[in-house]
Structure 1
Amino acid sequence: MSKVKPGDRVSFTFVATLSDGTVFDSSDELHGDDCGCGGEGPLEFTIGGDEVFPALEEAVIGMEVGETRVVELTAEQAFGERDERGIIAVPRSEFPEDFTLQEHMMLELAGDNDEVYPAWVTEIGADFVTLDTNHPLAGEALRYELTLERIVPAH
């Protein structure tokens, strides 16, 4: 039977939880834009394609179709530790008057060299809006229960 190896395209059904058991994603849900998996349904990626966390790629090498594996990632292996320097207060006047802000909404901020990076609105005050540039799962250990559904061998 074929086993997962570098270069293969793989497809998994999965449930992803935090250390307290809270489900934050699964193959039964519509995935967020930052998962790299293409939306609703199985998690699909190419081994070595930098589409998912490197530790997750490494953990599935050698799996066979139908096999289930639990992979636990530390915060460092996933979205990194929270960095309090990533919380910034922006004057409310920096936003257009007709722009509707909502807590938890994601904004794209322009950085140096026209880089764009995400920030989440955490507080809306009369004078300032607090943004958090940390990923919402930063500082969290993640647990994936993966069942390999398909392997498309590398050519």
Structure 2
Amino acid sequence: MPGANEGNKVKVDYTGKYKDSGEVFDTSEGREPLEFVLGQGMVIAGFEKAIIGLNPGDKTSIEVPPEEGYGTSRPELVFEVRKEQLPPNIAPEVGMMLEVATESGETAYMRIADVSEEMVTLDGNHPLADKTLLFDLELVEVS
């Protein structure tokens, strides 16, 4: 059997953990396997690379550095706004996610990183940026 290859639709059971703490941040356990097409950039590069060549039933454990995961933090995506610039119905809390319109009219998601008396720090980096991730993977199906 040639194994999973670019263009194949695959179903994968997985558990993702932070390397530094071992804490699980996501898993397919108790849910349907993750389904995606290899080679279309639907999942992070390190995850996708690990699936190439596997056959249904194969299991593997991998380490994904930030460069093959969610990238490294970009300081230009962190900025402060005055509290009154937020919608009046929002009581900002650290960790809260906000949907904001960019200057080009697109939607971006920002995490509240800090709240002071007058200012709110917004962070547009992915919450898993800078993290080395561990995944336990099992290829369930290839079509």
> Same fold by TM-score, threshold 0.5 exceeded?
yes
Give the whole-Å Cα distance in 2 for the aligned partners of 1:126 and 1:45.
44
Following superposition of structure 1 onto structure 2, how do residues 79-90 of structure 1 map, counting pairs within 5 Å?
Answer: 79-90=70-81
The match for 1:61 among 46, 52, 56 is 52
Alignment coverage as a number of residue pairs:
142
In structure 1, the residue matched to 2:5 is 5
Selected match of 1:131 from 122, 125, 129: 122
**Structure 2: distance between partners of 1:143 and 1:100:** 34
RMSD: 1.7
Q: 1:25 offset after TM fit, Å?
A: 0.8
1:72-122 C-alpha deviation (Å, 9 max, x unpaired): 211111111123332211101102323333321111222232122211012
**What is the rounded CA distance, in whole Å, between the counterparts of 1:98 and 1:149 in structure 2?**
45
State the 1:125 CA deviation.
2.3
Q: TM-score, normalised by structure 1?
A: 0.82
Q: Distance in 1 between matches of 2:16 and 2:49?
A: 17
Cα shift at 1:2: 5.6
Gaps of 5+ in 1: 30-39
Contiguous gaps of at least 5 residues in structure 2: none
Equivalence for 2:90: 99
Alpha-carbon distance between aligned partners in 2 of 1:112 and 1:90, rounded to the nearest angstrom: 15
In the alignment, residue 110 of structure 2 is paired with which amino acid?
Answer: A
Matches within 5 A, 1:29-40: 40=31
What's the secondary structure of 1:114's corresponding residue?
A: coil
Return the alpha-carbon distance in structure 2 between the equivalents of residues 128 and 68 of structure 1: 47
Alpha-carbon separation, structure 2, partners of 1:115 and 1:55: 28
Q: Which amino acid aligns with 2:82?
A: P
Residue 117 of structure 1 aligns with an amino acid whose one-letter code is A
Q: Which runs of 4+ in 1 moved over 4 A?
A: none
Distance in 2 between residues matched to 1:96 and 1:10, nearest whole Å: 42
Aligned to 1:51: 42
TM score, norm. by length of structure 2: 0.89
Q: How many percent identity over aligned positions?
A: 30
